[in-house]
């Protein structure tokens, strides 16, 4: 163990340090409380053995300072007091001291107490490791519970949580947001012709293209079977521009679409865009209606809710 | 102010002690050093398993004269505050090396110095010098014995 030995008397410090070293530990001597605190803050320390009365920070204050730190690793604290100093011993234990030793410290006593300290710090260490593991798996679980496994995009849970955040930001800080609902054209034909695995693969590749086209603040979700939703913190013109950029990027990616009617047998998207005020459900309905409009007008195009026309000229705006 | 009792030798703190001359502090018949403390120190070893007692005793014997000189200076300068703090500092060191007589004198000196009694302080510093000679003789003889 790493053991900090704190005493303002160099001879007492020397004896304690030698005893600690002799017991197979690493001794880190300090002649004052603030020095000891510096060591604790910069080095992994298992145990502190500190005199009670020292100039400057006393042993109790040192213990309180160590306990006040926001650290997972536990520091086992031993206070050295005079034999009949039950008052300070009691105050020390109440303030977070783990053990009290009587002056002059006998090496054999120190040996016994350090054995106890080793057991206790070992328990704390294992507990801290388990705690860290739990926190990690909690974070992982929270992430995986919000991810759609095939596309790696967010799922419906993540979508509704994020939409709520977007909505409250818009209402509170007037930060606009809009949605773009994408649908793979003739997806049923793809599944029927090439099989569901090919359909899955096409979805995965479309999702990858979408992810590549997004900025950090933009979010994408698998909305339904072959429907993907993108949410952007922007007004309708920028949302529409992004939707059109994504539509083109997917077309250029030339993802095979065997069985698609027409000359080009690549995957294309239709997209409906909605932005502005209103509840999120109304937003999604409007985007869905716009998507339907884009489909009915011949697919592989965009329609904006409230403006029943495609706006290809927006595609070149930043 | 409880710290000043640090070095008082309590019977329950010294199980199996030897060379106990009783509670008569001034009695020259009491051994200068509590051998059980030195035996404890002798049990401390280095990483190779060798006792570090020699090193510890050298540190003690080397450090004390300077502390006594500081006490002398404080007496000459009639600096009661320095006397009290130097006496306190020497209490812990003496007790750590079993020099109970020295520790007791230090404790007494601290009380006297805090009272501002320079005359009595001078007498006690003199007694400390004498007691240290006894301690040194004891430790040197112990070292040659072991």
DSSP A45-96: -SEEEEES--SSS-HHHHHHHHHHS--SS--EEEEEE-TT-HHHHHHHHHTT
DSSP 8-state class, residue A182: E
Would the CB atoms of B7 and A15 count as touching at under 8 Å? no
A-chain residue closest to B87, CA distance: A9
Query: Tens digits of per-residue pLDDT, A2-21?
Result: 999 999 999 999 999 999 99
B55 — contact with chain A (CB < 8 Å)?
yes
Which residue, among B22, B3, B2, has the nearest Cα to B14 in the 3D structure? B22
Which residue, among A23, A57, A55, A24, has the nearest Cα to A40 in the 3D structure? A57
Query: Tens digits of per-residue pLDDT, B38-81?
Result: 998 999 988 788 889 999 999 999 999 999 999 999 999 999 99
A–B CB contacts, 8 A cutoff, strictly below: 78
Report the DSSP beta bridge partners of residue A154: A147, A221
Q: What angle do CA B109, A19, A110 make, to 5 degrees?
A: 80
Average pLDDT on A227-241 reads: 94
pLDDT value of residue A311: 42
Count of residues making up chain B: 146
**Chain A interface, best mutation among B13, B50, B64, B92, by max A CB count within 10 A:** B92
Catalytic residue annotation of A: 226
Return d(Cα A39, Cα A66) in angstroms, integer.
11
Would the CB atoms of B3 and A52 count as touching at under 8 Å? yes
What are the sequence ranges of the domains in chain B?
32-44+51-145
User: Which DSSP helix (H) or strand (E) runs through A230?
Assistant: strand A227-232
A318 pLDDT band, cuts 50/70/90, is very low
Write down the ipTM of this complex. Answer: 0.76
Would the CB atoms of A14 and B56 count as touching at under 8 Å? yes
| Residue A203 and residue A150 in contact, taking contact as beta carbons nearer than 8 Å | yes
Return d(Cα A149, Cα A168) in angstroms, integer.
28
B-chain residue closest to A11, CA distance: B93
Domains of chain A, each with CATH number or no CATH:
2-141 (3.40.50.2300), 156-316 (3.30.70.270)
Q: Which two tokens stand for residue A75?
A: 């520091």
Which residue, among B24, B33, B30, B80, has the nearest Cα to B53 in the 3D structure? B33
Query: Tens digits of per-residue pLDDT, A75-102?
Result: 999 999 876 778 888 888 998 999 999 8
Return d(Cα B128, Cα A13) in angstroms, integer.
22
| pLDDT above 50 for A315 | no
Q: To the nearest whole percent, how much of chain B has pLDDT over 90? A: 63
Alpha helices in A215-279 (DSSP H): 236-252
Collect all residues of chain A within an 8 Å Cβ-Cβ radius of residue B93.
9, 11-12
The interaxial angle of helices B80-96 and B118-145, nearest 10 deg, is 20
Return d(Cα B125, Cα B71) in angstroms, integer.
7
B3 — contact with chain A (CB < 8 Å)?
yes
**Chain A interface, best mutation among B1, B2, B70, by max A CB count within 10 A:** B2
CA distance A7 to chain B (A): 10
CA distance B27 to chain A (A): 23
B97 — contact with chain A (CB < 8 Å)?
yes
Return d(Cα A33, Cα B112) in angstroms, integer.
29
Which residue, among A272, A267, A270, has the nearest Cα to A253 in the 3D structure? A267
Return d(Cα B113, Cα B128) in angstroms, integer.
14
Would the CB atoms of A11 and B63 count as touching at under 8 Å? yes
Would the CB atoms of B6 and A103 count as touching at under 8 Å? yes
A-chain residue closest to B15, CA distance: A106
Candidate CATH numbers 3.40.50.9100, 2.120.10.30, 1.20.120.160, 1.10.3720.10; the one for domain B32-44+51-145:
1.20.120.160
């Amino acid at each position: 163990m790493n053991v900090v030995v704190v005493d303002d008397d160099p001879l007492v410090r020397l004896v304690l340090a030698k005893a600690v070293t002799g017991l197979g530990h690493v001794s880190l001597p300090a002649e004052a409380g603030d020095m000891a605190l510096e060591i604790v803050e910069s080095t992994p320390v298992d145990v502190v053995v500190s005199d009670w009365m020292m100039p400057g920070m006393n042993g109790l204050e040192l213990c309180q300072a160590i306990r006040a730190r926001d650290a997972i690793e536990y520091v086992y604290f031993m206070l050295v007091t005079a034999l009949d100093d039950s008052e300070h011993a009691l105050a020390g234990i109440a303030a977070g001291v783990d053990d009290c030793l009587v002056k002059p410290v006998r090496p054999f006593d120190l040996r016994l107490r350090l054995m106890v300290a080793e057991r206790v710090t070992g328990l704390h260490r294992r507990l801290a490791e388990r705690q860290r593991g739990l926190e990690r798996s909690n974070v992982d679980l929270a992430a995986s519970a919000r991810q759609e496994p095939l596309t790696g995009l967010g799922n419906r849970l993540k979508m509704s949580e994020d939409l709520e955040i977007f909505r409250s930001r818009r209402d509170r800080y007037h930060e606009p947001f809009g949605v773009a609902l994408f649908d793979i054209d003739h997806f049923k034909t793809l599944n029927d012709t090439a099989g569901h695995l090919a359909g899955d693969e096409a979805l995965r590749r479309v999702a990858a293209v979408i992810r590549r086209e997004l900025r950090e603040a933009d979010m994408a979700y698998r909305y339904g079977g072959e429907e993907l939703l993108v949410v952007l913190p922007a007004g309708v013109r920028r949302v529409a521009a992004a939707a059109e950029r994504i539509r083109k990027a997917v077309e250029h990616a030339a993802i095979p679409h065997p069985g698609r009617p027409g000359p080009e047998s690549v995957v294309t998207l239709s997209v409906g865009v909605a932005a502005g005020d209103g509840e999120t459900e109304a937003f999604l309905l409007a985007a869905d209606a716009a998507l339907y409009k884009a489909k009915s007008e011949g697919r592989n195009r965009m329609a904006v809710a409230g403006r029943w026309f495609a706006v290809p000229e927006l595609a070149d705006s930043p | 102010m409880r710290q000043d009792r640090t070095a008082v030798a309590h019977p329950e703190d010294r199980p199996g002690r030897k060379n106990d001359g009783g509670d008569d502090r001034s009695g020259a018949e009491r051994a200068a050093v509590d051998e059980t403390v030195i035996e404890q120190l002798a049990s401390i070893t280095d990483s190779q398993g060798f006792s570090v007692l020699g090193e510890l005793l050298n540190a003690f014997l080397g450090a004390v004269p300077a502390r006594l000189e500081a006490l002398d200076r404080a007496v000459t300068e009639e600096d009661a505050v320095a006397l009290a703090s130097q006496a306190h500092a020497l209490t812990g060191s003496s007790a750590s090396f079993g020099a109970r007589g020295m520790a007791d004198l230090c404790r007494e000196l601290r009380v006297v110095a805090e009272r501002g009694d320079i005359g009595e302080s001078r007498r006690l510093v003199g007694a400390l010098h004498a007691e240290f000679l006894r301690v040194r003789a004891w430790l040197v003889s112990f070292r040659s014995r072991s």
